[in-house]
Chain A
Amino acid sequence: MSTQPAAASSASLQRELGPRQAQRTGPRAWFRSLKNHQFAFAGAIALTLAALVALAAPLIAPHDPIEINAVDRLKPIGDSTYPLGTDRLGRDVASRLVYGSRISLGVGLATVILSNLLGITIGMLSGYYRGLDNALMRVMDAFMAFPGILLALGIMAVLGPSIINIVIALSIVYTPRVARVVRSSVLSIREMDYVEAARALGGGDARLIFRHILPNCVAPIVVQGTFIFAYAVISEASLSFLGVGASPEVPSWGNMLSEARQYLRSEPMLAILPGVAIMIVVLSLNLLGDGLRDILDPYMRDARGVE
C-alpha cells in the first residue's frame, strides 16, 4: 500500500465520502486510520487472534495442560500424541502454550484495568483538587522510587505466589504512572476555556470531570494502556523466572520459561516456544500502541502533513 501522509488520505476520504463522514475524531475515524496504519493493524490482528486462542483454549488444546504423565516426560516436537512435545513432568507443551495465553493476556488485561481504575481516580483527584495534589504525588513518587521489578517482588513475597497476586503487585507498580499521566492531562485541560465556561455555567465537579475532562484524557490512557499490558506480560515472565511469580503448576508462559531454563541445551524448544509467544504478544501490543499514539495524538496528526 502507499505511504501517503494521513492528511492526504483524509483528503481522499473527504473526496469519496463527503465531509461529514471524514471526521477526524471519534471511534469510526480511528478505526479507519488504524486500517491505514499497517503495523498497528497487524498488531491488532495478532492480538485478536491471541485473544481468540485464549478464549477457545478448552476447545483447541489437545490435552489437559496440568496433568502429569511422568512416563511421557521430555518428548520432542513431532511426537504423535504430543505435537509440540512434553515438558519434564510429561505435560503437553502445546496445551500449556494455549492455556498460557489465557494467563498472559488475562494478567495483562487485569493489570491494565486495575491500575487504570486506581490511577485514574488518583490522577483526577490530584489534578483537580490542588489540596490533595501534593500529598498524593509524594506517595506516588515514593512508590515510583522503587525499581518496578523489586516492588513487585516484594509484594509477591508478602502475598504469595498466585496469578491474582501478580495482578495486584503489578497494578500497584503501574498505578503511579497512570496517575501521573492522568494528572498532567487534567492539569492541562482544566485551564482550557471550555472548562472555565462549563464551570461558569454552574456544572458540578463530578459532571465536569466526567463529561469534559475525562474524555480528553482517553488518548494517553489508551496508549499507555497498551504499554502497561505489554509490560505486565513480560513482568509475569520475569517474576516467574525469579521464582516468585505464579505457582509452579500453573501453565503460564513465564513458568514454562523458568522451568525450561535447565533444558536450554537438551530441549531448547521448551524455552524457545514460550519466549516466542511472549514476543509476539508484546510486539503486537507495542505496534498497536505506537499506531494508536500516532492516530490519537493531535500534535503529531497535524505535523504529519509537513512531510
Chain B
Amino acid sequence: MLRYLLRRLLALIPVLILVSLISFTLVHLTPGDPVAQILGDDATVDEIERVRHDLGLDRPVYEQYLIWVGDALRGDLGQSIYVNQPVTSMIIERAEPTLMLAIVALFFTLIIGIPSGVIAAIKHNSYLDQSLMLLALLAVSMPNFWLGLNLILLFSVYIGWFPTGGYTPLGESVVGAFKSVMLPAIALGFSQAALVARMTRASMLDVIRTDYVRTARAKGLPASRVYITHALKNALLPTITVIGLVLTVLIGGTVVTETVFTIPGAGRLVVNSVIRRDYPVIQGAIMMVATAYVLINLVIDLIYVYVDPRIRLS
C-alpha cells in the first residue's frame, strides 16, 4: 500500500512539471497588455512603457519561467501585476470561499443525489423513477450559469432569502457564510446531483439483481433491510470514485458560478486574471488548482483501493 502511494506520488511530478510548462506557455502566448488594464483608457504611451519595464515584463520568456519555478519551489508565487500583492496570499485568501462553495455543493449533491438514486432504483420503472430520471437529465442539460441567474432572481431579488452575491467569511458569521454560499452551491451542484443520482440508481440496480440479494429477498427478509443494509453498501462503492470526479468537476465549475454570484473565490480570480493578463496570478492559481486536482484524484484512488477488498487483495 505504501509502495503504491509512493509510486503514485512520484508519477505526479512529471505531470505537475508538464502542467506548469503548459500554463506558462499559454499565459505568455496570450496577446494583450496587463498594463493597459491598470492605467485606464487615456493612458499615454510613455506611461505604459514605464510600467512594463518596472514590472520586468520585457525579459525573455524562458528566463521568466525559470525565475518563476525557482521562486515557486520556495513558496513564492510572485507578485500580482494588477494589484501589487503577493500571489500566494491572494490565492490563500480566496481558498476559503471556493472550498466552502465546493464542499457545500458536494454536500447538496450527495444529499439529493444518493437518496434519489436509491429510491429510483427501488421503485424501478415506476412513475417516480421515471420522473426523477427525466428531471436528472434536464438538470444535466441546463447551463448552470443560467440556472444560477434564475435562482438569484427568484430567491434573492423577489423572495429575499439569500444575498444576491458576495461572500461572508466564516470568521465573521457562520450562518452568513452558509447563506451566501447556498444559492451558488445549488446552482453548481444541481447537475452533479443528477449525475450522482443516475450513477447510484444504476449501481443499486446492478446490486439488486445479484444473486445474493435475490436470495435474501426470496428468504423473506423485508425489502428495506435488504436494500439498505446489504445492497446499499456495495452500490455505494462506484459512487466513491464518482465523488472524486464530482469534486473536481465542482471545483472547475466554481469558475463560472463565482462569476455569476460575485463570490471572491479562486475560480473568479483566475477568470479575472486571464482577462487582465495578470500572468503571475494566472500561473500560480492554475498550478494550485491542478495540484489540488491530482491530489484529490490520488486520494480517491487510495480510498477506493482501501475500501474495495477485491482490489486490495489482488
Q: Contact at B15–A138, with CB atoms within 8 Å?
A: yes
List residues of B whose CB falls within 8 A of some A CB: 11, 14-16, 18-19, 22-23, 26-27, 29-32, 125, 137-138, 140-143, 145-146, 149, 153, 157, 206, 209, 248, 251-253, 255-256, 259, 270-271, 274-275, 277, 282, 286, 289-290, 293-294
Q: Which of A22-30, A52-60, A139-147 contacts B (4 or more CB under 8 A)?
A: A139-147
CA distance A116 to B16 in the complex (A): 25
Q: Chain A residues with Cβ under 8 A from B143's Cβ?
A: 234, 237-238, 241, 257, 275, 278-279
**Apart from A146-B289, A149-B255, A157-B277, what 7 extra A-B contacts exist at CB < 8 Å?**
A138-B15, A146-B23, A154-B274, A278-B146, A283-B138, A286-B141, A287-B137
Q: Which residue of B lies closest to A307 (CB)?
A: B209
- The answer to whether A146 and B14 have CB atoms under 8 Å apart is no
Tell me the bound Cα distance from A244 to B253 in angstroms.
16
Contact A141 B30 (CB under 8 A): no
Closest CB-CB distance, B294 to chain A, in whole Å? 5
- What is the chain A residue whose CB lies nearest that of B214? A306
The answer to whether the Cβ of A153 comes within 8 Å of any Cβ in the partner chain is yes
Q: With a CB–CB cut-off of 8 A, which chain A residues contact B255?
A: 147, 149-150, 153, 242
Report whether B275 and A145 are in contact in the complex, using a CB–CB cutoff of 8 Å: no
CA gap between A150 and B286 in the complex, in Å: 8
Chain B residues closer than 8 Å to A282, beta-carbon distance = 140-142
Docked complex Cα distance between A143 and B23 (Å) = 10
A76 within 8 A of B: no
**Known A-B contacts A150-B270, A154-B27, A157-B274; A241 and B256 likewise in contact (beta carbons under 8 Å):** yes
Within 8 Å of chain B (Cβ to Cβ): is A158?
yes
Pick from B146, B153, B294 the residue with the most CB of A within 10 Å: B146
Give the residues in chain A near B23, CB-CB below 8 Å.
146, 154
Residue contacts A-B, CB under 8 angstroms, 15 given: A138-B15, A145-B16, A145-B290, A147-B252, A149-B253, A154-B27, A157-B275, A230-B141, A241-B256, A242-B271, A264-B149, A265-B157, A282-B141, A283-B137, A290-B137
For B157, list chain A residues within 8 Å (CB): 265
Q: How far is the CA of A275 from the CA of B142 in the complex (A)?
A: 8
Q: Does A51 contact B (CB under 8 A)?
A: no
Q: Identify A242's interface contact among B11, B26, B256, CB under 8 A.
A: B256
- With an 8 A cutoff between CB atoms, is A155 at the interface? yes
How does the 8 Å CB contact mask read for A142-185 relative to B, with 1 for contact and 0 for none?
11011111100111011010000000000000000000000000
> Please, which residue of chain B has its CB at the minimum distance from the CB of A257?
B146
Given contacts A154-B27, A230-B141, A287-B137, contact A149 B274 (CB under 8 A): no
Interface-central residue, B15, B32, B143, by most chain A CB under 10 Å: B143
Known contacts: A158-B29, A275-B143, A283-B137. The answer to whether A238 contacts B256 by CB under 8 A is yes
Are the CB atoms of A158 and B15 closer together than 8 Å? no
Provide the residues of chain B in CB contact with A146, threshold 8 Å: 19, 22-23, 286, 289-290, 293
For A307, the chain B residues whose CB sits under 8 A away are 209
Q: Which residue of A lies closest to B260 (CB)?
A: A241
User: Assuming the A-B contacts A147-B252, A160-B31, A234-B143, are A279 and B149 also in contact, with contact meaning beta carbons closer than 8 angstroms in the complex?
Assistant: no
Q: Is A80 on the interface with B (CB-CB < 8 A)?
A: no
Determine the main DSSP class of B at the interface with A: helix
Give Cα A46–Cα B285 distance, bound, in whole angstroms. Answer: 41
Contact for A286 among B14, B125, B140, B294, CB less than 8 A: B140
- In angstroms, how far is the closest chain A Cβ from the Cβ of B129? 12
6 closest A-B pairs by CB: A147-B252, A142-B18, A282-B141, A283-B141, A145-B290, A154-B26
B269 to chain A, nearest CB (A): 11
Contact across chains for B146 and A275 when beta carbons are under 8 A apart: yes
CA gap between A142 and B209 in the complex, in Å: 39
Contact indicator per residue, chain A 210-233, by CB within 8 Å of chain B (1) or not (0): 000000000000000000001000
Contacting pair A306 B22 (CB below 8 A): no
Report the bound CA distance from A155 to B274 in whole Å. 10
Q: For the complex, is A200 an interface residue (Cβ under 8 Å from B)? A: no
Q: Is A62 an interface residue (CB 8 A)?
A: no
Q: Which residues of A contact B27 (CB under 8 A)?
A: 154
Q: Is the CB of A145 within 8 A of B141?
A: no
Question: Are A306 and B209 CB-contacts (below 8 A) given A145-B294, A241-B145, A264-B149?
Answer: yes
Contacts A145-B293, A147-B255: A243 and B140 contacting too (C-beta < 8 A)?
no
B18 lies within 8 A of A138 (CB): yes
- CA A160 – CA B153 in complex, angstroms? 32
Answer yes or no: A192 CB below 8 A from chain B CBs: no
For residues 258 through 276 of chain A, which have their beta carbon under 8 Å from a beta carbon of chain B? 261, 264-265, 271, 275
